[in-house]
Structure 1
Amino acid sequence: MSTQRNYYRMTGRVQNVGFRWTVRQLAESLGLTGRVRNRRDGSVEMELQGSPAALNKLIKNLVEEQTFIRIDDTYSEPLPLVDDEKGLMVRF
């Protein structure tokens, strides 16, 4: 199984709605690692690493299955893998 790491920046109703904690819970359940943090411009950015299927499942869940989160736009780009990363860090 291949592993990839992607950077994501999402805009919409993504702050003050439990977005980062939702990402953490989903990432842990899918075996993803990385980090997520709020940006001063009101967006949220993430670096996530894992299988392409797990990454796609997390993004699909955020876009389609969350009640309080509304994603208007998503930017993503591939990143180099990070070796020996453990868990998902929520930054403030």
Structure 2
Amino acid sequence: MQTQKILVSGQVQGVGFRWSARQLAQQLGVTGTVQNLPTGQVAIVASASAKVLSDFTHQLQRGLAPWIQVTDLAITDLPTRRFNEFRIII
């Protein structure tokens, strides 16, 4: 089990990115949180196995929908955290 902070840049606010990220996380078995930041970026804290996190970040980078444009992912390893689910922070 690993935990990563993923800072997502691009056209990711107001386009359903958080909802789409939550759907993907639930499909892959990732737990954690996703929230909009005042900078226009989205912050994700995600916990799963290394392989699952790699798949998750790869799919985020590829794009979750045609109207969502991810230009950059900055990934930082964090101390392992356990979450019960993957939730959107409003």
Structure-1-length-normalised TM-score = 0.89
1:18 corresponding residue in structure 2: 16
Structure 1 residues 36-58: Cα deviation after superposition (integer angstroms, max 9, x where no partner): 00001100000000011111111
Alignment of 1:40-59 (within 5 A): 40-59=38-57
Following superposition, the deviation at residue 5 of structure 1 comes to 0.3
Runs of at least 5 residues in structure 2 that lack an aligned partner in the other structure: none
Aligned AA for 2:70? Answer: I
Following superposition, the deviation at residue 65 of structure 1 comes to 4.1
Structure-2-length-normalised TM-score = 0.91
Q: Per the alignment, in what secondary structure is the counterpart of residue 86 of structure 1?
A: coil
Higher alpha-carbon deviation: 57-66 or 69-78? 57-66
Distance 1:48 1:16 in 2: 21
Q: Percent identity among equivalent residues?
A: 31
2:72 corresponding residue in structure 1: 73
Q: Per the alignment, in what secondary structure is the counterpart of residue 15 of structure 2?
A: coil
Distance 1:33 1:59, change over 3 A: same
Aligned AA for 2:36? Answer: N
Distance 1:65 1:45 in 2: 16
Following superposition, the deviation at residue 80 of structure 1 comes to 0.9
Over 6 Å off, 4+ runs: none
Q: Is the 8 A contact 1:62 1:69 kept in 2?
A: no
| CA RMSD, Structure 1 to Structure 2 (Å) | 1.1
